[in-house]
Structure 1
């Protein structure tokens, strides 16, 4: 599994966020909030859905399954004008990312995460950067339980 290394421009996103841990996973909750309201977003840049994780600077050094972080379900927009009521704004600064293509169910993801953080990153010549991590679920995303489902995993690097 070899990533593409890309530098992206800043991105504007709108959606919903929630504080959670891996042990107290609330991902379903925020996606249940976003998905029925997608039609209200009139300035989306694409139909892609973003799943974003915002970690504190010491998240990975002091990690436990109970360690809290902020999870987002969001859509990239052209600008922050005409934001539907109740939506939150998030800006990504851009910069450099390692982009992995993942195929499988959400249950199978832990093996891929172990490879990315335990094997690829330490041997890559890059360091993890303290910026949001995210996944993009595009046209080939078939749902979290479908083994043929594909998504991009974006890891911030420097």
Structure 2
């Protein structure tokens, strides 16, 4: 499973966020609170949904454990000029840069297998280090996490080892 290497331009995101850990996972609550409002967000670029994770001190897979806090976002991309008027929504500027983009195929409950491959096999053997930017998954509006045929893009921020 070789990733596509993509240089991402800075993006403006609008959505909802929550501080959480894997041990106290609030992902379902976050998405349930976001989804009814997504259509009312003005100037959406497309119908894709973003599941973003922002880590306080950057992400180190060797130091990450179930009680490591991070901020998770449920969001959509909007045009840069958009001014968010909805008091229930927040804005995040997704920094641009190089990303390794993998495809996770299958239900969400097997997602850890994809992450294990990325961080234990691919990354150590690659010419890249993790970069301190948001990690995210991107999927279409008809994505269903329990679907055995589900596909989601997994975007991992990287930089060349010598940077």
TM beyond 0.5 = yes
Aligned with 1:129 (options 131, 136, 144): 131
The alpha carbon displacement at 1:113 in A equals 0.4
Query: 8 Å contact 1:15–1:87 — kept in the other structure?
Result: yes
SS in 2 for 1:143: coil
Q: Is 1:28 aligned to 2:20, yes or no?
A: no
- Aligned pairs (5 A) from 1:7-18: 7-18=7-18
Q: Is 1:142 aligned to 2:118, yes or no?
A: no
Cα 1:154–1:58 change in 2 (3 A) is closer
The Cα RMSD (Å) is: 1.3
Query: 8 Å contact 1:49–1:73 — kept in the other structure?
Result: yes
Q: C-alpha separation between the residues in 2 aligned to 1:58 and 1:16?
A: 21
TM-score normalised by length of structure 1: 0.94
The alpha carbon displacement at 1:72 in A equals 0.3
- Tell me the equivalent position of 2:96: 94
Aligned length: 157
SS in 2 for 1:38: helix
- Aligned pairs (5 A) from 1:38-77: 38-57=38-57, 59-60=59-60, 61-77=62-78
Residue segments in structure 2 that go unaligned for 5+ positions in a row: none
**Residues 85-108 of structure 1: CA distance to partner in whole angstroms, max 9, x if unpaired?**
210000011110000011111110
Q: C-alpha separation between the residues in 2 aligned to 1:98 and 1:5?
A: 5
Cα 1:64–1:31 change in 2 (3 A) is same
